[in-house]
Copies of this chain bind each other. A is one copy, B any other.
Amino acid sequence: MTLIDKLKRGEIPSHLPAIAVREQRDPQVVVDRLLSGRAVMPQNSGKTLPQPVVIGEGFRTKINANIGTSPDHDHQAEELKKIDVAVAAGADAVMDLSTGARIRDTRRRVIAKSLVAVGTVPIYEAAVRARDRYKAFVNMPVDDLFDVIRDHGADGVDFITVHCGATRAVVEMLARQGRVMDMVSRGGSLLVEWMIYNDRENPLFEHYDRLLEIAREFDMTLSLGDGFRPGCLADATDRAQIGELMVLGDLTSRAREAGVQVMIEGPGHVPLHQIEENMKIEKSLCEGAPFYVLGPLVTDIAPGYDHITAAIGGALAAMHGADFLCYVTPAEHLRLPTVEDVRQGVIASRIAAHAADIAKGIPGAMEADLAISRARKALDWEEQARHAIDPELVRRMRSERPPRDENLCTMCGEFCAIRASSEAYRLLNIKK
């Protein structure tokens, strides 16, 4: 039985009340949102997560951190270390995107180690297996792909990205329309290469019921991937992107009927003025399914700073309805991220998510802002650090340039605005 089956029978999972407390919502609201599909709670039925989360409308915006080896940088220990750093920095989920050697071993270690939900993109392992067994991914038999997906379920994966909407019809729509960058989704482009080479339909679309069966078996949440997400601003919000999204909307409805939880993946590279419409059309085409966005990056020209570019887009996206932000690190477009890149990426995403949660009126979102502001007014520096997103950095930066008066800081010194305005209003009250 899946979570949805249980909820339909009136069974409340034991961890749900604690989640409702953390979200400052009534448990019934959580149940209703899950039943309606407007929120998901990814957790493989074969395990118990220490920190399951609810992702969707009305709840705190969640953050995912991608980790994983690649053929060119294949260091399992480094990737495992990234999980600790990402979760410590506030990630609510991690995705293991490994494509190096020992993929299954890495995945099992990731799952064993992670306190938070783990997602994967099974097509990557299918590609590696097919390369090793049949010399090239394009020679992959369809059964192998589903075998890999079943392995992921059996290993305890909580959610999987599946590019079910990258159909022949959308491939051809893109061919007619043209694009600057065609496809930039790794899984999507591999699938499309397979489809064209073999002159076949997308097997994840053609055999979607088979996918749903496996998802039900392990209660894996489907994260319907956007193979046609725009890879540059010039390609944003075009017919290929929206055409695929319409397919995903249809598949969302089929998954819900099967009692399988679904979220939708979204762009990508999107100019600032198109973000709101992108969020709203996902909600309307996909019947309110949680939207999981990568970025969006609001310019193409900032490699090395794409955590900032994504924080801008992510904040606006989450304000307008995105529920789950996939972090982007400073290494995006350049190389596999380092451990420090991962930390920077998670923090930038958290800033974006938090700013949006305040804008969305998420219960409790303003509490930390109010606490740090009161500490600022009181010139209480340790209390400021305690409420900051990165307390250690606050203490370190301040200590690098110690002020003469320890109540002040080296920016203004004796000309401190807080000191001056406190004195002014003290005088005003005396004179009254």
Contact = CB atoms under 8 A, between A and B. Distances in A.
Interface string A304-321: 110111011101100100
Contact of A182 (B192, B233, B271, B425): B425
Contacts of A354: 299, 301
A179 to B, nearest CB: 9
A86 B18 CA distance: 49
A400 interface: yes
Interface stretch (A50-58, A206-214, A401-409): A401-409
Contacts of A299: 351, 354-355, 358, 369
Interface in A311-343: 311-313, 315-316, 319, 330-336
A70 interface: yes
A386 to B, nearest CB: 11
Contact of A302 (B172, B305, B351): B351
Contact of A347 (B189, B273, B305, B398): B305
B272 A184 contact: no
A224 B367 CA distance: 33
A233 B421 contact: no
Nearest to A376: B181
A350 to B, nearest CB: 9
Nearest to A175: B428
Contacts of A416: 186
A377 B180 contact: yes
B428 A171 contact: yes
A100 to B, nearest CB: 9
B422 A305 contact: no
Interface stretch (A1-9, A34-42, A193-201): A193-201
Given A424-B196, A427-B196, A233 B358 contact: yes
B127 A415 contact: yes
A71 B431 contact: no
A377 B181 contact: yes
Contact of A424 (B193, B311, B358): B193
A370 interface: yes
Interface residues of A, number: 112
A142 interface: no
A192 B424 contact: yes
Contact of A71 (B73, B394, B415): B415
Interface string A381-411: 0001001111001100110110110001111
Which residue, A124, A183, A315, A355, has most C-beta atoms of chain B within 10 A?
A: A355
Interface in A280-304: 298-304
A77 interface: no
A99 B408 CA distance: 15
A94 interface: no
A309 B410 contact: no
B234 A421 contact: no
Interface string A193-237: 101110100000000000000000000000000000001111100
A183 B424 CA distance: 10
Nearest to A272: B359
Contacts of A427: 193, 196-197
Nearest to A234: B370
B417 A184 contact: yes
Contacts of A369: 232-234, 299-301
A271 B355 contact: yes
A416 B312 CA distance: 26
Contact of A421 (B183, B368, B410, B418): B183
Contacts of A139: none
A366 interface: yes
A-B complex: 8 closest residue pairs judged by Cβ atoms: A232-B373, A183-B421, A273-B359, A298-B355, A189-B420, A272-B359, A71-B413, A189-B421
13 contacts: A72-B403, A127-B415, A180-B374, A182-B422, A189-B417, A196-B425, A231-B373, A272-B319, A299-B355, A302-B388, A303-B397, A309-B351, A330-B397
